[in-house]
Amino acid sequence: MKTSAFVYPWDVVGDPDAAGRLAALGVEQVTLAAAYHSTRALTPRHPRHRIVTAEYAAVLYPPGDHWQGRAPRPHAAGDWAPGDAYGEAAAALAAAGLDVHTWVVLAHNSRLGAEHPDTSVVNAYGDRYPWAPCIAQSATRAYLVDLAAEAAVRPGAGGCELESLGWYGLAHLHAHDKIAGVPLGDAGQYLMSLCFCPACRSGYADAGQDPDALAAAVRAALRPVWRGEAPDEGWQTVEKLLGTDRAEATRAFRTETAGSLQEEAVAAVRAAAPDGFQVLLHADPVPYHCGANVGVEPARILAAADGVVVPCTGGPGLLRPFAGHRTERSVLAANLTVVSGMGGSPGTLAEDAARAADLGATELRLYHAGLASDADLAAVGDGLRGLG
């Protein structure tokens, strides 16, 4: 199974041993961040630093001149990834014999929400989520499509992985998050992630729903949650809490909005890329789910993109819905966390990979080679050798 490890440019730039160390690990490919959200990251082996603080969402290369005068537009990184940090890291990795694909984070951007508040998701209570751009808004969609094409197709890249290309909602590791006091469950997360910005209100109206009545129904449905009555999991609970017609209207609008954006972005990347450029999405097979692994319709996304990267750290079950719709060219990449401190299990990599392969995985992704300890990386190397 072809295997790729995630890394950041700052894991490589300034560390002359980083690229060779990754190649010696036994991976064939590196998925290198080209556009990324704000974060604080450990760099346990870098000769010059141990903590990198990326203060805002940024592109990790010089953005093109075509962004001048546009709003919104991407921002260049600060001193955590100055200049063409992506290009410098990519060149070092390629020189070590590794294929390089881009890693592009899209609809997850707190700076965008701070500078342009009207672009953010607005919940049924009127609260804005500045980390979550609303993908129903035409200007935001145009920004995301153009950013996908530019950030994905960097010089020398053989493909890309598009993350957060869909709805983002409440669930998010925001700065000093303190939202776990009330268990929301799957249904509560959905209700708290519904957007009521003007574009979404118009979309609900087109679907035959009164936006004000719908927002009131969402608030009413959440009252038991605030009392501590955690709702059951699954879509049937959303229908029970919100009513079947209202629930289905929201799901249909949001699923079509996300699906059309995904198709448009994939087409834009392909138009900008050379022949043979691979386009994958980080994806969840439950269409109404939000987050970095965006909810998709498996058949639709596999008809548009070359494949998906699927979270499998908790088990490979999410691969199954995609496997039923894959074609001969489809990539189903099982994403396994290999950082013990982040809930990963690098010591069981070979066994986890075998289970994923049984459910249709054709490739592996390892999250994250730059964050892992030396002991974790040693276990990953042993596991990859165990794959034969």
Do the Cβ atoms of 4 and 363 come closer than 8 Å? yes
Q: Give the integer Cα–Cα distance in Å for 101 and 2.
A: 13
* Cα Rg, the chain, nearest whole Å: 21
pLDDT in tens, the chain (388 residues): 999 999 999 999 999 999 999 999 999 999 999 999 999 999 999 999 999 999 999 999 999 999 999 999 999 999 999 999 999 999 999 999 999 999 999 999 999 999 999 999 999 999 999 999 999 999 999 999 999 999 999 999 999 999 999 999 998 766 767 777 888 889 999 999 999 999 999 999 999 999 999 999 999 999 988 988 866 778 999 999 999 999 999 999 999 999 999 999 999 999 999 999 999 999 999 999 999 999 999 999 999 999 999 999 999 999 999 999 999 999 999 999 999 999 999 999 999 999 999 999 999 999 999 999 999 999 999 999 998 6
DSSP 8-state secondary structure symbol assigned to residue 76: B
* Assigned token pair, 342: 């982040």
0.85 exceeded by pTM:
yes
First to last CA, the chain: 9
Number of other CB atoms surrounding residue 249 within 10 Å:
19
The first and second tokens of residue 221, run together, are 């449905």
Instruction: Tell me what pLDDT residue 174 has.
Output: 67
Place of tokens 């990198």: 52
Strand residue runs (E) in 264-306: 278-284, 294-295
Name which of 104, 147, 112, 156 is nearest 130 in CA terms.
Answer: 112
Q: Which of 369, 375, 346 is nearest to 29 (CA)?
A: 369
pLDDT of residue 305: 98
Beta strand spans in the chain (E): 2-7, 29-36, 39-42, 51-54, 58-59, 99-105, 120-122, 128-133, 159-163, 278-284, 294-295, 307-311, 331-337, 363-367
> What is the Cα–Cα distance from 149 to 104, expressed in whole angstroms?
10
The class (CATH top level) of 2-194+258-386 is: alpha beta
| Exposure on the CB side of residue 96, measured as CA atoms within 13 A | 24
